[in-house]
Amino acid sequence: MSINITGTIERRDIGTGAWALVADDGTTYEIPRGTAKELLKDGQKVKVAGEVKEDVMSLAMIGPVLEVKSFEIV
């Protein structure tokens, strides 16, 4: 499912660490490892276009995994 989200990047101290995008509506998405480092800055406000991966699970289990296709720093 492709979506566009505006929200804030957060670093989560779970296990070895995880990155999350907390949308303005409060929904939390997990951002997988290997995503652009320019996006992964704690507290950064962004607009993201991506795809929620229904067939992927993670150890952090903080929300659906969001494969980022493009992003813009707001």
Q: What is the pTM of this model?
A: 0.91
Confidence of residue 60 (pLDDT cuts 50, 70, 90): confident
Of the CATH numbers 2.40.50.140, 2.170.150.20, 3.40.50.300, 3.30.2320.30, which one belongs to the domain with range 2-73?
A: 2.40.50.140
Q: What are the pLDDT digits (tens) for 3-51?
A: 999 999 999 998 889 999 999 999 999 999 888 999 999 999 999 999 9
- Please state, in angstroms and rounded to a whole number, the distance separating the CA atoms of residues 27 and 36: 21
Q: Which residue has the higher pLDDT, 58 or 45?
A: 45
Round to the nearest angstrom and report the end-to-end CA distance of the chain. Answer: 23
Judged against a pLDDT cut of 90, whether residue 74 lies above it is answered with yes
User: How many whole angstroms separate alpha carbon 19 and alpha carbon 3?
Assistant: 18
Q: What is the pLDDT of residue 34?
A: 86
